[in-house]
């Protein structure tokens, strides 16, 4: 294995889109260490256990071992645990890992909301825990949706607890860079406020708009590319997004209040047929969108 990889044995718990894609990306990027997997639906586990990647002698299994029971993994050998589970499951996983893993094992998660989750993880696991959030995803879920290029050129946000991270946990920086990612560090509070604006509220709005349309047959065949692109994320897993939105509800509500003011301005401009006021908001929106650096399409 290349010495650029700081972890020789990695356990991925949660074999859906994020965890499955991470495993595929590791193999695609030349990781030759031991990969262990657990967690997910029976179909996720079946697909993960059957997944293969190109190797020198043909193909090889992506995972060296998959288990439907995480407790059965060989924890004494694990250098890094990646928790790719929904946020609500993380506190219990932290408690279980404290019983299973050696004191030298690093723990991270991929949750898109931090706050209390990071505080709990740091309290239970100490400075070897360093939370991460790769700014990638998709509306499809499960191992069937996993792809080896999901993390390509992604920005990964590391959010340490109040006491910071130890040297072993900082190995996550070259780990993510080995996958071709850019890495930035933020506090959990900064993360949750920013993601409320750039991810959580946009998902809520897409869900809300589509829910407001009802089941009208008259509209079914009239959706163009604008509606398709705007509403794509409303196909995301409702249970997962309920979990995320409730965990970050205060930051989302602050952003929602700011949006209400803009909607009120737009409503007034439409009611009074004030074209300059309407165009000013639309032009400001266009300019701000053009300033964003979006990840490549997968």
pLDDT at residue 281 tops 50 = yes
pLDDT at residue 190 tops 50 = yes
The whole-number pLDDT of residue 293 equals 81
Over residues 178-200, the mean pLDDT reads 96
The whole-number pLDDT of residue 84 equals 97
Backbone φ, ψ for residue 254 (5° rounding): -60, -45
Cβ proximity of 116 and 94 under 8 Å? no
DSSP string, 206-238: HHHHHHHTTT-TTTTT---HHHHHHHGGGGS-H
35 SS3 class: strand
In angstroms, the CA 224 to CA 290 distance is 22
Q: Mean pLDDT lowest for which of 36-40, 65-69, 127-131, 216-220?
A: 216-220
Cβ proximity of 75 and 100 under 8 Å? yes
Average per-residue pLDDT for the chain: 93
In angstroms, the CA 197 to CA 273 distance is 29
271, two tokens: 């009611």
Backbone φ, ψ for residue 207 (5° rounding): -60, -45
Over residues 76-83, the mean pLDDT reads 97
243, two tokens: 């979990």
Contacts of residue 208, defined as CB under 8 A and 6 or more positions apart, other chains included, come to none
- Structural domains for the chain: 9-186 (3.40.50.720), 192-290 (1.10.3660.10)
- Give the torsion sign (CA, 157, 191, 203, 282): negative
In angstroms, the CA 20 to CA 231 distance is 25
Over residues 107-125, the mean pLDDT reads 96
116-to-71, 119, 188, 189, 192 alpha-carbon distances in Å: 25, 5, 9, 10, 11
Of 137, 169, 130, 138, give the one whose Cα is nearest residue 154.
Answer: 137
293 SS3 class: coil
- Give the torsion sign (CA, 280, 283, 289, 292): negative
Over residues 22-37, the mean pLDDT reads 96
Q: How far apart are the first and last CA of the chain?
A: 28
The whole-number pLDDT of residue 254 equals 96
The whole-number pLDDT of residue 1 equals 39
User: Could you tell me the pLDDT band of residue 3, with boundaries at 50, 70 and 90?
Assistant: very low
The whole-number pLDDT of residue 221 equals 87
Model confidence pLDDT, tens digit, residues 42-77: 999 999 999 999 887 789 999 999 999 999 999 999
- H/E segment holding residue 53: strand 52-55
């Amino acid at each position: 294995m290349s010495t650029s990889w700081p972890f020789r044995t990695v356990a991925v718990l949660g074999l859906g889109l994020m965890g499955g894609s991470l495993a595929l990306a590791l193999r695609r990027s030349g990781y030759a260490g031991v990969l262990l997997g657990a967690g997910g639906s029976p179909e996720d586990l079946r697909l993960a256990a059957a997944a293969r990647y190109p190797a020198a002698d043909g193909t090889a299994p992506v995972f060296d071992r998959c288990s439907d029971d995480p407790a059965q993994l060989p924890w004494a050998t694990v250098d890094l645990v990646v928790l790719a589970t929904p946020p609500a499951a993380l506190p219990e996983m932290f408690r279980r890992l404290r019983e299973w893993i050696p004191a030298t094992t690093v723990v991270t998660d991929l949750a898109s909301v931090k706050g209390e989750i990071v505080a709990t993880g740091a309290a239970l696991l100490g400075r070897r825990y360093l939370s991460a959030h790769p700014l990638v995803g998709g509306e499809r879920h499960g191992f069937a949706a996993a792809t080896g290029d999901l993390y390509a050129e992604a920005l990964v946000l590391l959010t340490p607890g109040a006491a910071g991270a130890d040297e072993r946990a900082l190995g996550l920086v070259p780990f993510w860079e080995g996958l071709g990612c850019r890495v930035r560090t933020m506090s959990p509070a900064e993360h949750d406020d920013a993601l409320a604006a750039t991810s959580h509220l946009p998902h809520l709005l897409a869900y809300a708009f589509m829910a407001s349309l009802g089941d009208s047959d008259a509209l079914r065949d009239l959706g163009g590319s604008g509606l398709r692109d705007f509403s794509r994320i409303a196909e995301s897993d409702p249970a997962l997004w309920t979990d995320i939105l409730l965990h970050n509800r205060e930051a989302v509500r602050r952003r929602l209040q700011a949006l209400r003011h803009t909607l009120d301005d737009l409503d007034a401009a439409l009611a009074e047929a004030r074209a300059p006021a309407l165009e000013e908001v639309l032009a400001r929106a266009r300019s701000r969108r053009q300033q964003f650096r979006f990840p490549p399409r997968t």
